[in-house]
Structure 1
Amino acid sequence: MDKNKIVIFSGAGISAESGLQTFRDSGGLWHNYKVSEVCTPEAWQDNPERVLDFYNQRRRNVADAEPNAAHRAIAELESQFQVVVITQNIDDLHERAGSTQVLHVHGEITRARSSEDPSLIYELGYRDIKMGDLCDRGSQLRPHIVWFGEEVFELEESLYHIQSASRVLVVGTSLSVFPVAALVHEAPGEAEKVIVSLDVEATPHDYQLYRERASEKVPQLVSQWLVDKNA
């Protein structure tokens, strides 16, 4: 266990406080789309233009959003600790707040990749992906997002970091999306483990739970950890 390492495990709740809507918030729908219509490989095969439209709109929303106090506090921890953020979110709010080591297990809205060769990944920023936008090998670009039925990213690296952390802070997640949610059970027994979430469904027994807004509670925890570090 690395006494100077803090792992942050973040979910949709932290981004929701920056105004980004989630599937869960809207009862399984987002802008009148069903999850099955826009978040599966079958949806892409059936209607790629609809899928692109959905993610293009999400990308515009991310561009308009700003990191909140929880994102900024997490980034502040890097002044005294090694911090690894493992996020289920596809936005870039952690990075824009100043976090430098962020693992996006479900992909990134600001990137595109080849629909035929997953290794061909392109920085997109906040631009739309359009039909006819091709990779270097001539296949249509798709969002660099993990859809239902696809393997998540960075799982082995995420496991390594959470198993070696002295503190684990889980923020804004229900812990209901697997296999990623299982990572929180891999923290060392002696590590300090905290959950800040309004909608967590299954709380691991050895985590201290705060059912509070991330933008209010996370800065408090971070301030205390920084004080403890310098005591």
Structure 2
Amino acid sequence: MFELIKDQIKNIKKVVFVTGAGISQESGIPTFRGKDGLWKNHDSMKLATIDAFYDNPKLVWEWYNERRKNIFAAQPNLGHKAIAELEKYVKVVVLTQNIDGLHQKAGSSEVLELHGSIIKIKCSVCNFNEEITSEISEILPLCKCGNILRPDVVWFGESLPQDVWQKAMIYASQCDLMVIVGTSLVVSPANTLPIYAKQNNALLIEINPDNTEISPEMTLVIRNTGTISLPEFVSLFKNK
């Protein structure tokens, strides 16, 4: 599967993973854009914009609470675990578009959540934020300042957290190898990350069962899932 880069692995010291919904789908978390995705039965503009939240915060909170139940029950799969294991051999950073925390659950120590986290909440007005470990019982949870709390995720039309994005660009521009797993990278600005890696002459690997717009730009394309491909990928580093 990885024969083309086997000889180059011995020179790799910094690996950046860019992960998307496809890797979490294998843990039972539906994707947004797949044929069985979360957007299939919902209008995304009624659920994932700040305007929708102010128009109907109860609906948005109900939907996110349902998603949170699913995510709390989910466990890291072999793909997540392989990425965490790779830290034994090289420097690893995960830049994830996922909001489920499964990379951290698997043991990855350096994870940048580009689109926020569903297990964190923040105030819609003041600077309050915190992590939650169980279900929220209130229909509309309020901050101590009296304003509505919201999921600490990046909604359509919102900017990525600038501190996180600045770090992501730096890691991408310094890596020797970038592995893009389970994402078509159609969302900006995450879709620019391979450009930063390429400017550093990094190897680019795509792991995705489907063809994507970025496939022609890759050094190596693996048409398979993360759970199958990533354990084999890590085994290359064990033997280098």
Query: Normalized against structure 1, the TM-score is what?
Result: 0.91
Q: CA deviation at 1:211?
A: 1.1
Q: Identify which of 220, 226, 231 aligns with 1:208.
A: 220
Q: Which of residues 151, 154, 157 in structure 2 aligns to 1:149?
A: 157
Taking the TM superposition and a 5 Å limit, the aligned residue runs for 1:65-144 are: 65-117=74-126, 119-128=127-136, 130-144=138-152
Name whichever structure is richer in strand by fraction.
1
Aligned partners of 1:216 and 1:38: how far apart in 2? 33
- Give the distance between the partners of 2:40 and 2:73, measured in 1 at CA: 17
Establish whether residue 179 from structure 1 lines up as the match of residue 186 from structure 2. no
Amino acid across the alignment from 2:103: H
Comparing 188-197 and 80-89, the one that deviates more: 188-197
Structure 1 residue 198: deviation in Å? Answer: 1.8
Mapped partners of 2:172, 2:137: distance in 1: 34
Measured in 2, the distance between the counterparts of 1:126 and 1:181 equals 33
SS in 2 for 1:24: coil
Unaligned runs of 5+ in 2: 1-10
What residue number does 1:165 align with? 175
**How far apart are the structure 2 equivalents of 1:99 and 1:62?**
17
1:33 is aligned to: 42
Deviations 1:92-124 (A, max 9, x none): 11011000111000110110000113x321111
Assess if the C-alpha contact under 8 Å between 1:38 and 1:50 holds in 2.
yes
* Identity among equivalent pairs (%): 38
TM-superposed deviation, 1:183:
1.0
TM normalised by structure 2 equals 0.88
Asked if 2 retains the 8 angstrom alpha-carbon contact of 1:129 and 1:142, the reply is: no
- Alignment correspondent of 1:18: 27
Structure 2 CA distance for aligned equivalents of residues 126 and 99 of structure 1: 22
Q: Residues 155 and 53 from structure 1, CA distance in 2 versus in 1: closer, same or farther, beyond 3 angstroms?
A: same
Q: How many residues align structurally?
A: 226
How far apart are the structure 1 equivalents of 2:40 and 2:27? 18
Give distance in 1, aligned partners of 2:110 and 2:137: 26
Distance 1:189 1:207 in 2: 14
Deviations 1:49-95 (A, max 9, x none): 00001110111000111100000000001112221100000001101
AA aligned to 1:123 is: E
Query: Residue 56 of structure 2: which of 47, 51, 61 is its match?
Result: 47
2:207 is matched with 196
Structure 2: how far apart are the matches of 1:101 and 1:41? 29
Over the aligned positions, Cα root-mean-square deviation in angstroms equals 1.8
